[in-house]
Amino acid sequence: MAASLGVDVGGTFTDLALWDEARGRLAVFKLPSVPSDPAEGILAGIRTIVAREQLRPADLTFVAHGTTVATNALLERKGARTALITTRGFRDLLEIARQKRPDLYDLQADKPVPLVSRDLRVEVRERLLPDGTVLDKLALDDVRAALDAVAAAGGVESIAVCFLYSFVDGTHEHLVADEIRERHPRLYVSLSSAVSPEFREYERLSTTVLNAYLGPTISRYVRRFDEEVRRLGVPSAPFINQSNGGIISIAAAAAQPVRTLLSGPSAGVMGAAWAARDAGVASLITFDMGGTSTDVARVEGGEPVVAAERTIAGYPVRIPTLEIESVGAGGGSLAWVDSGGALKVGPESAGAMPGPACYGRGGTRPTVTDANIVLGRLSGEHLLDGQMTLHPELAARAIDDLAAALGVGRVEAARGILSVVQTNMLGAIRIVSVRKGYDPRHYTMVAFGGAGPLHAASLARDLGIRQVLVPPAPGILCALGLLVEPLRLDLVRTVMMMMGGPDMAPHIPQRSGRPGEAGPPLDFSGVFDDLEKEARAWLDREGVPAARRRIVRAFDMRYLGQNFELRVMEPAARGDVAALRRAFFAEHERVYGYFTEDEPVQIVNVRLTALGEPEPLALPPLPAASRPEPDDARIGERSVWFDETGGFAPTPIYRRERLLAGHGIVGPAIVEQMDSTTVVLPAQTAIVDALGNLMIRIDA
């Protein structure tokens, strides 16, 4: 038998999705995370779901893991003591940065503390010119002296190496790496020419330092995960999820852990894109609300939007990353009153331990989950099909304490919590839509995560979104996303070429050279040949069959003199310069509202993405209902507060697993399942489609 397993570890729960290929069956499981040792929860979950499905670990031919270990290590500043070796004169670049304040209007806001202290930043003599010519040969004596200084400082686990023009030629960095491995073989080494080989020295330096800072922690974690999974009897090496919506091997994750900073959320976006694509929906906003945070993203034409750079915890990260916006708003987010008497929710979370007050694990502060229980939106009896017993009296007590501080009643306090957290989430959604020039009314919202379907209907209504798609297993969609993601490798080369040459009319002068000097013809064949050779070698090592390989080419382009580039996909006809230029104009107009044909255009980077597509995962269709009324799925009724009714209203409760294709639900209604709860507001309707998705129609 052959089965695939996706494991996603969140701040509150660990989710598992198992696809049994032989039986065509998807099994899901959810258990509380173990923050002190995430691997403990993973292994317990694997044992449980495999035994429950009457399989053996040896039947697992594919295991992938989405992790927040890198994110947490950065946010909590628990990375390795790191040193830096850099070009003479650039020791303080980490602190100089771009000379931008974290907040334009807050003169007191502090910049993030550099991850390498100044005493551990060492300069050496070396210098290349922008074209790769050696101006100053690497002084190995300086390197050895630098390593002696690092050793004398004590406690250093990792070294970042970043030279000014190493993205043109990384030879000097590799020579330094050879010295480090010879003299200090236990030190973790991070080279900018391997981690982020593209121009912009500060962003490249920041990314390289982050990689070094996270390296020892993440490499230990993923290698231990590999060992423990193998010890269970799983025959194949597991994979780790990246921030770009693809998976990589354990070795690759250990070498470049910076690529896993958004490992968990990106799997959910990929899962949402897959579920929506099968349902015939191509443009969507993903809404993933878990126990600790809410993550939102935009998907265009079935493909998640990818950004070349992100800022995480105040540090620029120059690697391809899904364009995800996160906010500290989850089911476990704590409600509190600030010094001015205003109600706040998050970003601090109760997490898995002690969790919300209703969990009965010692938590006493009110959370979003407690508010949902007080308002009747969540069952006051149990979660996870009875695996977790809830204590509504503890939720009420926590909300009462908050209500007393605010001077309002229990219901008003609970409503206030949901109103504040919804406002926070609306802000995140507007960042990925309205601020980018996209109207959310033209999109379908895909709601998932344990708490996403609880809040999606009201969020969609406020945004003007007309439809919400709730997948069959929304609470474990991040884990399921790991089963539908490709293997992915992103490669980049900086070229700095003007769009000139005999194949362009009118001819544009190259202003970066001598006045009036023409730019070279646009010929990227050599660069792309080198990148494709590297990509093919990687696909060979990963054992990807030829039929499942895909190569995607793109360009980073801008008008000469601009500070930022736009990503433009290669035209269908390779070498069609006019089509590429038109595509740049169209993208520039979409982003900035205008374009001009008179200004010279510069190609900064060429990019190549190698994909190893997974075997298709096709869930069996849901049996059709004989009549639209889901009477057999109705399991009871309880009193639920809705603002639309101005109070508590008797509300039917439905069991998700009993719903069939064609069933229709008229709100108000609650739909419960093992991994999540869906709220359908008054006057809304929800239809079950052939794939088991719950499609909620929102009135205008």
380 pLDDT tier (thresholds 50, 70, 90): confident
Residue 182 lies in a domain: yes
The confidence score (pLDDT) of residue 272 equals 96
599 with 512, same domain: the answer is: yes
Structural domain of residue 604, as residue ranges? Answer: 487-612
Mean residue pLDDT of the chain comes to: 90
Any idea what the CATH number is for the domain that residue 133 is in?
A: 3.40.50
- Whether residues 502 and 369 share a domain: the answer is no
Residues 628-686 pLDDT 10s:
999 999 999 999 999 999 999 999 999 999 999 999 999 899 999 988 999 999 999 99
How many distinct structural domains can be found in the chain? 3
What's the Cα-to-Cα distance from 422 to each of 327, 408, 428, 528, 699, rounded to whole Å? 11, 20, 10, 46, 19
Statement to judge: residues 87 and 172 lie in one domain: yes
Q: Kindly state the average pLDDT of the residues 221-227.
A: 93
Do 379 and 494 share a structural domain?
Answer: no
- Please write the tens of the pLDDT for every residue from 29-52: 988 888 778 888 899 999 999 999
Residue 558 lies in a domain: yes
- Residues 98-116: tens digit of each pLDDT: 877 777 778 777 788 999 9
Asked whether residue 656 is domain-assigned, the answer is no
pLDDT of residue 504: 38
pLDDT grade, residue 500 (50/70/90)? low
Question: Are 417 and 525 contained in the same domain?
Answer: no
Instruction: Give the span between the Cα atoms of 106 and 101, in whole angstroms.
Output: 8
Q: Is the domain of 407 the same as that of 520?
A: no
Q: Is residue 81 located within the same domain as residue 209?
A: yes
Residue 71 has pLDDT above 90, yes or no: no
Whether residue 191 sits in one domain with residue 119: yes
Contacts of 467 (CB under 8 A, 6+ apart): 444, 445, 460, 695, 696, 697, 698
Looking at the chain, the whole-number percentage of residues with pLDDT higher than 90 is 73
pTM of the model: 0.89
Q: How confident is the model at residue 1 (pLDDT cuts 50, 70, 90)?
A: low
115 lies in the same domain as 214? yes
Residue 627 within any structural domain of the chain: no
Same domain for 400 and 521, yes or no, is: no
Determine, yes or no, domain membership for 191: yes
Reading the block at residue 599, the tokens are 């200004």
Q: Across residues 368-378, what is the average pLDDT?
A: 96
Residue 303 lies in a domain: no
Mean pLDDT on 119-127: 97
**Same domain membership, residue 492 and residue 567:** yes
**Nearby residues of 540 by Cβ (< 8 Å), 6 or more positions away:** none
Residue 273 lies in a domain: no
Over residues 421-433, the mean pLDDT reads 94
Last residue in a domain, options 188, 220, 252: 220
pLDDT in tens, 577-625: 889 999 999 999 988 889 999 899 999 999 999 999 998 888 889 999 9
Domain final residue, candidates 550, 582, 612: 612
pLDDT at site 522:
58
Cβ-Cβ contacts under 8 Å for 577 (sequence gap 6 or more): 499, 501, 503, 504, 522
Select from 561, 579, 612 the last residue of a domain.
612
Kindly state the helix (H) or strand (E) to which residue 670 belongs, with its residue range.
Answer: strand 669-672
Does the pLDDT value for residue 131 go beyond 90? no
Helix (H, G, I), strand (E, B) or coil at 485: coil
Does residue 225 belong to any structural domain of this protein?
A: no
